[in-house]
Amino acid sequence: MVKRITILLVFLFGGVYLSKAQPAMGQWRDYFAFNDARALGVNGSVIYCAVTNGFFAYNTDNGELNRYTTVNGLSEVDITAIAPIPEKGITLVGYKSGNIDLVYEDSKRIVKLPFIKDKPMAGSKCINHFYYFNSLVYVSTDFGLVVINPDKLEVRDTYYIVESSGSLKVNMLVVWNGKFWAATSQGVFSANTNDPLLISYERWERESFFTDPTNECLNVTAEGNYLMALEKTLGNDVIWMNSGSGWVEFDRPFDDMVGISMGYGRLYAYSSNAVQVYNLQGIKEELISSYLFGGSPRVAECIPIGNSRLAIADEFNGLVILSPGSHSVHSPMGPFNNKFFHIDASANMVVAASGAYDAAFGNFWNPFIAHTYSEGKWSYFADWFNHDAVRVKADPRNPDVFYVASWGGGLYKITNGSLTEHYNPDNSTLQSVFPGQPYCRIAGMDMDTKGNLWVANSEVPNPISVLMANGSWKAFPYSTAIGTSRIISLTVSPTGIIWLALARDNGLFVLNPGNDVESASDDIYLKFRPRDANGNTLPNEVTALAFDRDGYVWLGTNQGVLVSYNPQRVLQGETRFQKIKIPDVVEGLAVYLLETEEVTCIDVDGGNRKWFGTAKSGVYLFSADGTKQIHHFNTKNSPLPSNTILSVKTHPVTGEVFIATDKGLIAYRGDASQPAESFGKVYAFPNPVRPNYNGLITIAGLMENSVVKITDIAGNIVYETRSNGGLATWDGKNRNGQRVATGVYLIFCSDSRGEQATVTKLLFVK
């Protein structure tokens, strides 16, 4: 069964992709999913919905929707709790790490409170719930209760409510009848709200009404004269009620309950796939087990927002609002999920594989999903019967065609987001690790200049196959030469040699298929480990491989980067590799390019510069020769959701750098794109440049290493530069560093040889 869904992406910053209204240089855009809702909060007509990588606020009166991510100031990802506090005009956001953000509604200012995260202690610090009472915020965490003064932005107290300051997970807290009621992993605890000594565990009393007082209490909720508690048991979970005269059992609706909530005279008990509605006399009113728009709920949290109106944080659909006769979804649109393992891009489209395999090359068993992004829209292609899309390759002859490889399901050809071919052992030379079973694992693929698609088929007798331009397949039985090592990538060199990177320090395998691909008689191949100029073996494990615009080959390893300047001599055994020495920071102390990093991926941008993704330190941009660091982005200095980088790809037209992490996809507006072969449509943006704009002005559509001269209308040169690939930038200042005057400016562009030229105009308003 396959499925294709198209959804409109709502950008945080305006603009249409692949148009002149592009983000400014140096600006970030997130491409996070917003359908994996996990927590809710309400302030009047505004519903706050937290998802894994951010949150959004939806106004039920006017439909206004605002989203918040690391791009516009949130500390990190993995949100676990959210609570608006109308009295203070703030929204509290809690994270799995223990971090807390205060988002101020009037100024959109975000203040970070890292006190819990930075607290030196063992164990989880996850934020589970916020409760505002008497001008203080009571924070339920995995180790106890933390009291925060939101006015002074400080921690006032920490309550350990079990003996000897022991850690106890607190799921949530409420106030009812003059007492705090804490739902914990060991039952319900209570204490007087006016007790000045709540830092002492002795002031907290464990309630004994549960069937087993030490069973976990998932949550407590209160309204008016009623307090409810939810006990987790081995059978159906138990809802308890206290109306002022003691605890009585209310009901046992489900065996997999997630929570309970109260409001507008009703109780809502919810499991992961259903919501049971009660009146407060214990009468069941409605069971919600499906949506009117189709499908079953995936409930993470459920809260009432009016009489017979519910808001559901749905793990699949995002924010779902239920009204009598109407069920609707109100969420920012984005990709299907945050699983991005590998990316490729053409002029028309970006495609990402949503799968993975682990360090032992075992499946993650994610459904086979290929995200596609074009003209401001996200779509996805899914084959629910197969799994783990792991590689993507754009067809350089057709920008609407992509090949997507599965770690088990073979090879898919996708045209304009729809499946056109599915190659597997039944209709190609591809093989399964276990014949007849779904283990046709594709480790890499690339296309040569003749239009032949080369495919690395891991762990099988014929590990290399080629889909020729005429549609026929041929296999190459070189498993004995390759050995037992697994293949991690396949790359075709500019000279047509097939390069395989092999896992676990097994080096490289190269194949020259000769002039006749269908004949093995002219094949030449070699397996080797990288050696330096003296013939010494370099012990690095190869993790990534890429050819740059000069034809040099760059290897990412578990100990930095290697480069060879003569890869065309590889089959003569003469190719040598070396580390890139960074100019001495300390005299006499050699430092080599990323030598302490595990490099996970390499991308060469239009200016021949190198983007290196790493396993633990984020992403780097280096100069074309690798000796100068231009950027280093990580979670501390950028909106990156994680420092674990899985794939990097620079868009060939816009220069936007798509960065896939283990926690989602984000993009940085770079200043290099693939150069044009000739001057066609050269343009500058933004145009006009308005007085409040302080970013870089971009000139796009240039040839490689173009000379760009900017003059005023009288012909006076105010700025001169060269392009990075197909892009050049200007900061709007003259040679003296002063912002230029209002007027029309001419941008003269010529190629590096002076054989072609063009001119465009720019209006600048000071």
Could you give the domains of the chain? Answer: 683-764 (2.60.40.1220)
Question: ω into residue 438 within 30 of 0, thus cis?
Answer: no
Q: Measured on CA atoms in the order 624, 625, 630, 636, is the torsion positive or negative?
A: positive
Interatomic CA distance for residues 20 and 687, integer angstroms: 9
Structure tokens given for 322: 């239920």
Among residues 248, 177, 245, 252, the alpha carbon closest in space to that of 209 is found at: 248
Quick one: the chain helix, strand, coil %, rounded to 5?
0, 50, 50
Across 468-580, the runs of DSSP E, i.e. the strands, are 473-476, 487-492, 498-502, 508-512, 524-528, 542-547, 553-557, 560-564, 578-579
Cβ(68)–Cβ(54) below 8 Å: yes
- Tallying the residues shown for the chain, one arrives at 766
Cβ(387)–Cβ(406) below 8 Å: yes
Taking CA atoms, 348 is separated from 525, 655, 738, in Å, by 36, 13, 38
**pLDDT score for 485:** 83
Interatomic CA distance for residues 598 and 616, integer angstroms: 8
Q: Measured on CA atoms in the order 540, 545, 548, 552, is the torsion positive or negative?
A: positive
Spans of the chain, pLDDT less than 70: 1-22, 164-165, 585-588
**pLDDT score for 164:** 65
Among residues 510, 493, 562, 507, the alpha carbon closest in space to that of 533 is found at: 562
The widest CA-to-CA distance across the chain, in whole angstroms, is 93
Cβ(82)–Cβ(67) below 8 Å: no
**What does pTM read for this prediction?**
0.91
Structure tokens given for 525: 């191949």
Cβ(747)–Cβ(710) below 8 Å: yes
Distance of CA 633 to the CA centre of its chain: 15
Taking CA atoms, 398 is separated from 226, 403, 442, 582, in Å, by 65, 11, 22, 40
**pLDDT score for 106:** 83
Question: ω into residue 686 within 30 of 0, thus cis?
Answer: yes
Q: CB burial class (10 A; 0-12, 13-18, 19+) of residue 407?
A: buried
Structure tokens given for 172: 């949530």
Interatomic CA distance for residues 639 and 646, integer angstroms: 16
pLDDT in tens, 668-716: 999 999 999 999 889 998 999 999 998 899 999 999 999 999 999 999 9
Dihedral angle at the C-alpha atoms of 110, 111, 116, 119, nearest 10 degrees?
A: 130
Cβ(389)–Cβ(406) below 8 Å: yes
